[in-house]
A and B are shown apart, each in its own frame.
Chain A
């Protein structure tokens, strides 16, 4: 199969805005210590409100935003109607959710913070990241034989 060459510079520049959102997001991760293993340990020991406050207020702001987008039929910058996809329930949310929870607490990171941790210079986290890629791949390989 021949690889399609990505269309000119416009193709890539259209993605830069997502990188900028990512940069801002990564800065918040560091500044609010969300990427700290220690903050995650406090959260799972109920020793600090910090992470609960962050996740809780993020959800509230997200909910209000989605409500406003729907209510006022706000469009994308290109004028498209914004699409919301429903999540379909499967037992994977239970089994996979529990397994991810174990990984989150032992590494002190969910997928987003992994990238930010590497960015701050914690190079050993590259191994955690590669292992997360391996975990994703193994799931893809065995998907059909796992209970869902």
Chain B
């Protein structure tokens, strides 16, 4: 039991639990699973700046902000009370590749050598933190959803535009990880 709680969970436990979020939100309150829209609600709440895209009643979508706050708290609880004892064990090929860029510490959720407060002011860190974040926000809103809204909720309800979006997420990811990221990490 202790091992179950403290060791990393396999995909066949985690995947179905994530899938169950879809019916849970529907049955609890007729809510469609989606996370990136929370970013939009925060913009609408904090800096609408008379932009028509943000002129809507974000309070009606407040459930979504409670949901993402829950994700943050869940991360905090898991990291402090249920944390996996060992660093992530990664494919040896990835380990070899990353060691070429000086990345050998797998104990954090982000690579500590390149993603930290000091690196924020280097070109490499700026691209990985600030530009990367910008692409997440801009891209998900442009696509009308992210991995949760399109890839899980959209595919679960057989929406073909969500399949298009998911394929494009993956293509973008493959291009970045294999073609562009090596250049960024070499900076």
Contacts and interface: CB of A to CB of B under 8 A. Distances in A.
Interface of A: 4, 6, 15-45, 47-63, 65-66, 68-69, 74, 76-78, 80, 82-90, 92-125, 127-141, 143, 146
A15 B63 contact: yes
Contacts of B161: 87-90, 93
Contacts of A24: 17, 70, 74
Contacts of B13: 32
Interchain residue pairs A-B with the least CB separation, the first 4: A101-B172, A22-B70, A26-B74, A119-B75
Given A37-B110, A132-B134, A140-B40, A57 B78 contact: no
B109 A36 contact: yes
Contacts of B120: 124, 127
Interface of B: 8-33, 35-36, 38-40, 42-43, 47, 49, 51, 53-54, 59, 62-64, 66-79, 82-84, 88, 90-91, 93-94, 98, 106, 108-111, 115-117, 120, 127-148, 150-162, 164-178, 180-181, 184
Contact of A97 (B64, B116, B132, B167): B167
B68 to A, nearest CB: 5
**Residue among B63, B173, B174 with the most chain A CB within 10 A?**
B173
Contact of A140 (B54, B79, B181): B54
